[in-house]
Amino acid sequence: MPVPETTLAKQVATYALQLGHGNLVALGKLYDLTADRLLRYARTLTRNTADAEDALQAAMCRVSQYPDQLARSAFPWAYFLKIVRNETLKVLQRRVKLTLAAAESNEAWCFDEPDLEQQENAACVRQALQRLPSEQAEVVVLKIWEAMTFAEISVVLGESHNTVASRYRYAIEKLTRLLEPLVREECHG
């Protein structure tokens, strides 16, 4: 059962403070509380489960090495998402470098595709989300699945409130067009 957002943010803040005071048990609790959400977010950026898992692991290592940064943050949940985003971008940079190196040496390099073996509708939504530009998909995941405000998303992305709101609006317009056949099928099926 999903944790209500206000409760989630409060729990993240509580665990962050405990971490800041040297309570390493709080790191495990923080992971248990947030891992599924953070993995979903990282997977949206990487479009690859293994890379998303690597990014999440790197983010957890960073939090464990520098717990005071999370504890001192005004918005620990948004800051934690920003850490995951930064680590995800590092993973993507490494992937690009590996891909280029493999292409230069004529090696075939294959990356795992995300696991789409869930309900048919969920798979259609994920596929539609993948067809969006990554900047728009990122905002949609943070707004809809993480129930963040545009102000909070602005903190995570380091973008203006208006930029975030525009990306969301464009994404919703595109998703509406992409998912229209699914909606018609559900209504007439």
Please state, in angstroms and rounded to a whole number, the distance separating the CA atoms of residues 31 and 23. Answer: 14
Helices (H), the chain: 5-20, 25-46, 49-65, 67-72, 76-104, 120-130, 134-140, 150-157, 161-188
Q: Are residues 41 and 92 in the same domain?
A: yes
- Cα 167–Cα 138–Cα 100 angle in degrees, nearest 5: 115
Say if residue 102 is in the same domain as residue 142: no
- Token readout for 30 is 């923080």
In the listed set 86, 115, 144, which residue is the last one of a domain according to the structure? 115
How many whole angstroms separate alpha carbon 3 and alpha carbon 183? 28
Q: Give CA–CA dist 142/126, Å, rounded.
A: 14
Residues 78 and 2 in one domain: yes
Last residue of a domain, one of 83, 115, 147: 115
Give the model's confidence band at 186: pLDDT under 50 very low, under 70 low, under 90 confident, else very high: very low
Give the predicted TM-score (pTM) of the model: 0.62
Same domain, 107 and 130: no
Of the candidate ranges 109-113, 164-168, 179-183, the one whose mean pLDDT is the lowest: 109-113
> Are both 74 and 158 inside the same structural domain?
no
Angle between helices 161-188 and 150-157 (to 10 degrees): 120
Total tally of structural domains belonging to the chain: 2
Q: What is the pLDDT of residues 70-95, one digit of tens each?
A: 999 999 999 999 999 999 988 887 77
SS3 assignment, position 114: coil
Domain of 165 in residue numbering reads as: 118-189
- Token pair belonging to 171: 């994404």
Of the candidate ranges 23-27, 65-69, 107-111, 157-161, the one whose mean pLDDT is the lowest: 107-111
DSSP 147: -
Q: How far apart are CA 168 and CA 170, in angstroms?
A: 6
CATH classification of the domain holding 164: 1.10.10.10
132 and 107 within one domain: no
CATH of the domain at 40: 1.10.1740
**Do 94 and 3 belong to one domain?**
yes
Give residue-wise pLDDT tens across range 117-146: 335 666 777 788 889 999 999 998 898 888
Say yes or no: 88 and 36 in one domain.
Answer: yes
134 and 168 fall within a common domain: yes
Query: CA 48 → CA 42, 92, 106, 143, 148, distances in Å?
Result: 9, 10, 23, 21, 23
At 114, which amino acid appears?
Answer: P
The alpha carbon of 79 is separated from its chain's Cα centroid by a whole number of angstroms, namely 12
